[in-house]
Structure 1
């Protein structure tokens, strides 16, 4: 092996720390090297100092096993109880953060603020099952409990108990210690355990386990501890957990949600379900025990939303006190399962997390997944004609699709704008192949009743030639462009974007391209609520979206290539000024905006970024006009 010398040296170092006789040390060191060499070759793995294998082997040496038995014990222990990817930015640590946030959002928020991630302080805990941090007596007692319970996820809750019990100590270091000093201190917490503490320590871990949704076990058993490459549904396990780092909160399956509230009250998790869909959707079918909180209120009427949120918490307390089947300490938010709408449900969830609400989760799949259950048994007031799952066209037929009316503040003012700038909106159509564009620019900063700030740019133009790469051809129509709340490419730009979307590029190289006008580090917010570290690059004619690759630092996917001329609106919410939404589209024959796509980003330098993009759009339009 390439790492053979490093492995041999580490084996000698470990044996030198043991109390063996001199004549035994060489034999033990040789056995350790032989075991790990065979393990690496048989599993096609590479040895590294921080993988924790020698730490796992050290307590086993005290049992005086033969070489064959020692290997078998080591192999069984590693494969059954040590999670995969116990390295920097590994999936076990993202999952652990979600568990910490579920039980102690205040402490999780503090560590997030300090940019202290679990892999910085808990890597040795997980990779060695605390053998690297505790003395031998503690480890042997702890592992006895482990073998009795045979629960591979117990390490998550043991780590949770350690962190939560040290909360006051961690918070007290807020201003007196640096980030690294806090990490160094947290790393040493397990060393304070004594053998007499193990029984209570493990009992507390079991308590936290029973107070946690069990869906994550089914989701992550295979990817973290199993051997199959696919889950029961046939999905690759790598895909199943690929987005754990972007999850807003702990997900809960609908089946667990329903089963938990059908059982008799006890120590198990019981949920207070909060249905965040619009009222018309809720009235077309809902869970009988769900509390309705329209997520749209958060944007349209913050004061009313605040009142409703307080009523929610009051109703939860009353339901618990009354022993109602709807009562539960654990808040589970339910969306529609439709990506376009559930982004606002995620904002509601974030609202409660920011207020350090414990036990916050999100129903995976939303109402769509709920609808797949036996409807006659679980749904109340189900109206198939108005139900968006039974009748997807209901949103269009009854006008309940809020995207156009509720989230396009300029739509209602379109006619008045036409009147005010009528003299600029005339369309000049040139016959006989003569092409001439006539445009007007209307820049407006306004605060609408929906409590968001919109920067709008309206352009009416007659025709764009086939050689024009930033616009769409219109015949006998006026096209409306504005900088507003959703995103879209024109057909030409979409086609070229799709070809390049999955290209891999070097981030630094692209940031220093000569045609890049400005670039901003940001987080792309998908409709599912997932957040991806990204970069926005503005060139002379396009807006590029580069999504960072977690597996390859410094590299990124080309996630999107948007023509600047296709941006019709850019908006930022008053309550969330860093959340910027780009809407792309074109104008239909009646001069109404047709929105086809949306990009959303959290941009720390939002004002600077939108200003740069707006100015470049203006340059593009000026060039077209000339």
Structure 2
């Protein structure tokens, strides 16, 4: 961690040569007295009287030009930037740095009078805290200590209330800017808890709010340790869990309330099928890079626990997965003590629990097993979103081996067949004419094809963001190619004349199910605006083959 420099900090937030602009304004806001009092008390031991006057003026100017109501926290963030003026940084540059800093990390926090984005940050904080520090999370939860009690001032002041020494605060802010990660303030807050964990655990519950107030960073060594721990927490975040949390942008005010309601339903961090498959399968099976040691794919040590009923496990399971025993599924006491079998893996292994996503009783079993791991204070415990069914789809899509896979008995293979309640069928009898001529799949696609044929970007489940998806579909005269956009290579090839049926979801018409001769059904979700074009191209090419 390098020490800060005024020039570096300013350069990260503002063009140094921007023209000077006037900052004069009348001090006549409805809550001007509140602004005045806050300006007088902000870093009162450091700010000179004239600087307090300037602080009040800049706060008023910001509220007027940004059309927001003044809120406490603005003063704590602006004051350190104002003090850059002592280092010959022009006042308009100081102000611009403050404005850009707020816009980058807490863009609408002060816009909403109810601080709605804070409620979203609280929910995310609880989920991440439970993943990394389950003992503290349980302590807080059991004693109804919610994030608003311990983290409100941390977030609304961007930790300036916890880092009083200006040089240390500038180091932290410069470090934060360099991370370019809006979740880093949460990682930093949890790392701060970790540093003071012993002190927190030694206190009576009733005195904890006062302990939280006293938590602060007073020297460079402490800051360095907390930042290092923040990086470790970030490095130990499952990459798809991180992606999911960032997808719920709490600073988008029109969606904040709905996002909060959705995340409040999460009992823990969720990971997507692609992560658990990539992490648990051997490197050479899931990645084509030549040097595993320098592989760009983030790899963590994972244990996948398959919580499906034993009869389902026998019809297919994943490499390196741990099958939950029949006894643990049947007897509550054995389920409660099941985590003891993995004590040696505690602290250094990420544990992912997977159900089939088909059975409510089984869903409860997964939740109970999760609670058992948390009760035994296991960190890094998550649940696989979509369960076995979604992982099964992902594995088939990428031709990854499923052990002991019995297609005829596998529920995941056959669950799409009964689709009358979920989808409407567009049989090829009416959509095009059915053909039964079989062709041999073409294993190679010419590079020149990419230059002439359109790639229809798609995803394989609704939880994905289609714009972040790395796969697409290419329609040629005789085949449909599933294409890896990032690697620029074929994943799978389907002959058009092997199609027997197309199914589209009633509530999501761009969610298409393709049935082929002799291979399991495939499901792809396309962009809504491209779905009709894609289907028309398939139909045209099918009819051309028939003629």
Common topology (TM > 0.5): yes
- Aligned in 2, Cα 1:305/1:374: closer, same or farther, shift over 3 Å? closer
Pair 1:256–1:237, CA change in 2 (3 A): farther
- Per-residue Cα deviation, 1:511-546 (whole angstroms, up to 9, x for no partner): xxxxxxxxxxxxxxxxxxxxxxxxxxxxxxxxxxxx
Specify which of 98, 107, 121 is matched with residue 127 of structure 2: 98
After TM superposition, give the deviation of residue 250 of structure 1 in Å: 1.5
Quote the offset at 1:22 in angstroms: 4.4
**Cα distance change, pair 286–2 in 1 and its aligned pair in 2 (3 A):** farther
TM-score by length of 2: 0.60
Alignment match, 1:76: 100
- Residue in 1 aligned with 2:403? 380
Deviations 1:61-102 (A, max 9, x none): 111254543443223212322386666971212221222222
Kindly report which structure 2 residues correspond to 1:131-150, keeping only aligned pairs within 5 A, or say none.
131-135=160-164, 136-150=166-180
Kindly indicate whether the alpha-carbon contact (under 8 Å) linking 1:152 and 1:225 is maintained by their aligned counterparts in 2.
no
- Aligned partners of 1:172 and 1:24: how far apart in 2? 41
Q: Which deviations, in whole Å up to 9, do the C-alpha atoms of 1:541-598 show, x marking residues without a partner?
A: xxxxxxxxxxxxxxxxxxxxxxxxxxxxxxxxxxxxxxxxxxxxxxxxxxxxxxxxxx
Which residue of 209, 224, 240 maps to 1:183?
209
CA contact (8 A) 2:315 2:404 kept: yes
Q: 1:12 and 1:368 mapped to 2: Cα distance?
A: 58
In structure 1, the partner of 2:40 is 13
Q: Which residue of 1 aligns with 2:84?
A: 63
Query: Deviations for 1:478-503, whole angstroms, at most 9, x for unmatched residues?
Result: xxxxxxxxxxxxxxxxxxxxxxxxxx
Matches within 5 A, 1:159-558: 159-174=189-204, 179=206, 181-190=207-216, 192-224=217-249, 239-261=258-280, 262-263=282-283, 264=292, 268-294=299-325, 297-298=327-328, 300-302=330-332, 304-305=334-335, 309-311=339-341, 313=342, 317=345, 329-338=349-358, 340=360, 341-375=362-396, 376-392=399-415
Q: 1:47 aligns with which of 70, 78, 82?
A: 70
CA drift at 1:150: 2.1
Change (3 A) 1:28 1:254: same
Residue aligned with 1:63, SS: helix
How far the C-alpha of 1:30 sits from its partner, in A, is 1.5
- Give the conservation status (yes or no) of the 8 Å contact 2:40–2:52: no
Structure with greater proportional helix content: 2
Match of 1:120 in 2: 149
- The 1:271/1:128 distance shift into structure 2, 3 A limit, reads same
Q: Is the 8 A contact 2:116 2:256 kept in 1?
A: no
Deviation at 1:32, TM superposition (A): 2.2
**For the residues of structure 1 that align with 2:232 and 2:43, how far apart are their CA atoms?**
40
- Report the CA distance shift for 1:380/1:226 in structure 2 as closer, same or farther (over 3 A): farther
State the SS of the aligned residue for 1:272.
strand
* RMSD of aligned Cα (Å): 3.4
Residues paired across the two proteins, number: 367
CA contact (8 A) 1:212 1:269 kept: no
Contact 2:335 2:372 in 1 (8 A): no
- Contact in 2 for aligned 1:333/1:361 (Cα 8 Å): yes
Cα deviation, residue 23, structure 1: 4.8
**Shift, 1:344, TM fit:** 1.8
1:25–1:158 Cα change, 3 Å: closer
* 1:252–1:361 CA contact under 8 A, matched in 2: yes
Unaligned runs of 5+ in 1: 230-235, 321-326, 396-626
For structure 2, the 5+ residue unaligned runs are 1-27, 110-114, 284-291, 419-547
User: When the two structures are superposed, what TM-score results if normalisation uses the length of structure 1?
Assistant: 0.53
SS in 2 for 1:48: coil
